[in-house]
Amino acid sequence: MIRSVAHLQSLAWQRAHLARHKRSWIIMGVVVVIALFVGAFGYFGPVAWFALTNAVLHTTYRLAVAYGIALVLGVAIALVVGWSPFADALFPVFDILQNVPSFALIPFFIYFLGYTDMMIILFAVSSVIWPILFAVLTAIKNAHSDLNDAATIFGARGLRRIPYYLAPLSFPAILTGSIVGIAIGWESVIGAEIITSITGFGAFIKDASATGITHVAIAGMLVILVIVFVINRLIWAPLLAESGKRYSE
Amino acid sequence: MALVLSRVNAHFTDEGVREQPALSDITFSIASGSFVSVIGPSGAGKSTLMRVILGLMPIASGEVVRNFSRPAMVFQNYALFPWLSALDNVAFGLRMSGMERTRRERIAREKLKEVGLSHLEDHYPAALSGGQRQRVGLARALAISPDFLIMDEPFSNLDTITSEALKTDLLKIWRAYGMTILMVNHLIPDAIELSDQIILMGAHPGHIEKTVEINLPRPRDTRSESFFKHVDQLTENIRTIS
């Protein structure tokens, strides 16, 4: 918690942040009003809301698990690699791995895991992990050399360097990496669901568009929009505000 | 002697490819409990020298003898940990040495009080001014009760009034603690006012031009004739380097 904000600069920052906050609520409000309006005219008549919500929640669940695994794995790998003297040597290796088109790996995942929840989750992990890993590695690599020296001089040496210096140093990077990673994660999970037709939102809209009902796809997008908005406002926005205030210099 | 360097050479490596000489043939020694300033143009390797002394940078040849056990450093751009409050920043070194929370916080509070910031212990560095940050940096260094304190241009980002106040406090602290202080400075009058010895460095690659002893009595009168004579002489020396 920031207990006191003394600077005018931070106050200006806070005001700008509140303005952004307000704007996003207004935009979301307009979208919802329009949706309710067209809904009132029966646009969403053919939509099976219960099945749709179920499908979206299933997709969200897969993404959440995938994100959790990717976060732990990505941050752990990045911290250990960034701490080791091999960071510079391993960077290009990660770069190549990251550039492997993830959907090209789907047959491989299906071969080993079959058409299961676990397959989609681990497939999503393989794409969500990269932005997190790279953000943390870059943050460690670009840390000011004086800050590195200060950590060393005042005793954050050896393995202790990871929890007391590298991890808190990487906090803003973990945030931005997570936001980008989750955006990619939606794509991967829904894409994998469309390709493999295993339950979830992807499979749901695939079925729907096969029968020519576009209303269902639009309703589904609205539901996802609401979920993304809620996650953004409840989790990321406060965390970003916190990190922006503290790590601003 | 708190520190002896003899014929020390060091170089930079750019991306591990090219080697550039950074320090060439550095020889000097610092008496325990003395206040020593390093002065020189940019590119003279002053900061590199500090890193070598602290063992943060490998040397190519020569010898460094360190007769101190708890070195600390104050940085030009403060280098405070932005995720820690002022109090936690000051207590960082004690925390790393395994001291329990209540004890280290008590000591950190004492140190913050010593530098005049006890009312700001809950503030994060981003909410502090430059002078306040540098005081936190100084308190962080003092908290580990250092026997050798390195200061890399600690006043250069501060305004005159703030740096004058900090300088007075620093002299007080130096007298109270009796530690050895090595300070990189770029203001000649400051260096003369504070130091027992001034090491003059030249650039490309960094080398020692001259070592000057300042034997003026303390507390020093910065308006006296002998003071100005020293300033003149050192200014002349620097002019011939650059």
pLDDT band at residue B204 using 50, 70 and 90 as cut-offs: confident
Largest CA distance in chain A: 69
| pLDDT above 90 (res B33) | yes
Q: Please tell me whether residues B154 and B237 are part of one structural domain.
A: yes
Q: What is the pLDDT of residue A47?
A: 78
Model confidence over B57-106: pLDDT tens digits? 999 999 999 999 999 999 999 999 999 999 999 999 999 999 999 999 99
Residues B169 and B219 in one domain: yes
CATH code, domain with B9: 3.40.50.300
* Pairing outcome for strands B3-14 and B61-66: antiparallel
Q: Does B155 lie in the same domain as B64?
A: yes
pLDDT at B30: 95
Residues B139 and B233 in one domain: no
Q: Which amino acid is present at A166?
A: L
DSSP B103-162: HHHHHHHHHHHHTT-GGGTT--GGGS-HHHHHHHHHHHHHHT--SEEEEESTTTTS-HHH
Instruction: Round to whole Å and give the CA distance between B225 and B8.
Output: 37
Give me the number of domains chain B comprises.
2
Do B122 and B216 fall into the same domain? Answer: no
Classify each residue of B163-186 as buried b or exposed e, where b means 16 or more C-beta atoms within 10 Å of its C-beta: beebbeebbebbeeeebbbbbbbb
Q: Do B52 and B156 sit in the same domain of this protein? A: yes
Query: What are the φ and ψ backbone dihedral angles of B63, each rounded to 5 degrees?
Result: -140, 140
For B100, the 3-state DSSP assignment is coil
Q: What is d(CA A56, CA A227) in angstroms, rounded to the nearest whole number?
A: 9
Q: Are residues B42 and B63 in the same domain?
A: yes
**Which among B80, B97, B126 has CB closest to A155?**
B97
Would you say A175 and A243 are in contact if contact means Cβ atoms under 8 Å apart?
yes
Please tell me the predicted confidence (pLDDT) of residue A249: 59
Q: Count of alpha carbons within 13 Å of A131, Cβ hemisphere only? A: 17
Q: Which of residues 51-110 of A touch B (CB under 8 A)?
A: none
Window A:200-219, CB contacts with B under 8 Å: none
pTM for the predicted model, two decimal places: 0.86
| B125–chain A Cβ distance below 8 A for any pair | yes
Sequence-separated (6 or more) residues with CB below 8 Å from residue A215: A43, A44, A45, A46, A47
CB contact under 8 A, A152 and B56: yes
Q: Which pLDDT score is estimated for A45? A: 77
- Residues A107-119 have pLDDT tens digits of 989 999 989 999 9
- Which residues, numbered 155 to 184 in chain B, qualify as contacts with chain A under a Cβ-Cβ cut-off of 8 Å? none
HSE, side-chain direction, 13 A CA sphere, residue A4: 11
Please give the backbone phi and psi of residue A83, each rounded to the nearest 5 degrees, phi first: -75, -35
The percentage of residues in chain A with a pLDDT greater than 70, rounded to a whole number, is 93
B138 plus B34 within the same structural domain: no
Q: Which pLDDT does position A7 carry in this prediction?
A: 45
- Name the residue among A181, A179, A180, A226 with its Cα closest to residue A201: A226
Whether the CB of A41 is below 8 Å from some CB of chain B: the reply is no
Find the mean pLDDT for residues B159-181: 90
Collapsed DSSP state (helix, strand, coil) of residue A24: helix
Show which of residues 45-64 on chain B sit within 8 Å of chain A, judged by CB atoms. 51, 54, 56
Q: Does residue B202 share a domain with residue B121?
A: no
pLDDT at B17 over 80: no
- Distance separating alpha carbons of residues B51 and B144, to the nearest angstrom: 19
Domain shared by B103 and B132, yes or no = yes
Highest mean pLDDT among A30-39, A224-233, B99-108: B99-108
**Are residues B172 and B63 located together in one domain of the fold?**
yes
In chain B, what percentage of residues exceed pLDDT 70?
98
Report pLDDT digits (tens) over B117-161. Answer: 989 999 999 999 999 999 999 999 999 999 999 999 998 888 888
| pLDDT band with cut points at 50, 70 and 90 for residue A3 | very low
- Given B112, B146, B180, which residue is the final one in a domain? B146
The predicted structure's pLDDT at residue A206: 87
Q: How confident is the model at residue B219 (pLDDT cuts 50, 70, 90)?
A: confident
Nearest to A171 by CA among A85, A94, A242: A242
List pLDDT tens digits, range A154-202: 999 999 999 999 999 999 999 999 999 999 999 999 999 999 888 899 9
C-alpha pair distances (Å), B167 with each of A113, B134, B158: 68, 11, 11
B194 part of contact set with chain A, CB < 8 Å? no
Does residue B226 share a domain with residue B156? yes
Going by pLDDT thresholds of 50, 70 and 90, the confidence category of residue A99 is confident
Mean of per-residue pLDDT scores for chain A: 87
Choosing from B87, B120, B146, the residue where a domain stops is B146
Of the partner residues B71, B84, B126, the one whose CB lies closest to the CB of residue A249: B126
**Structural domain containing residue B110:** 77-146
A104 φ/ψ angles, rounded to the nearest 5 degrees: -70, -15
- Using a CB-CB cut-off of 8 Å, the residues of chain A touching B96 are 154-157, 160, 164
Which one of B146, B164, B193 terminates a domain?
B146
pLDDT band at A6; cut points 50, 70, 90: very low
Question: If you search the block for the tokens 């990189």, which residue do you land on?
Answer: B184
CA distance B153 to chain A (A): 13
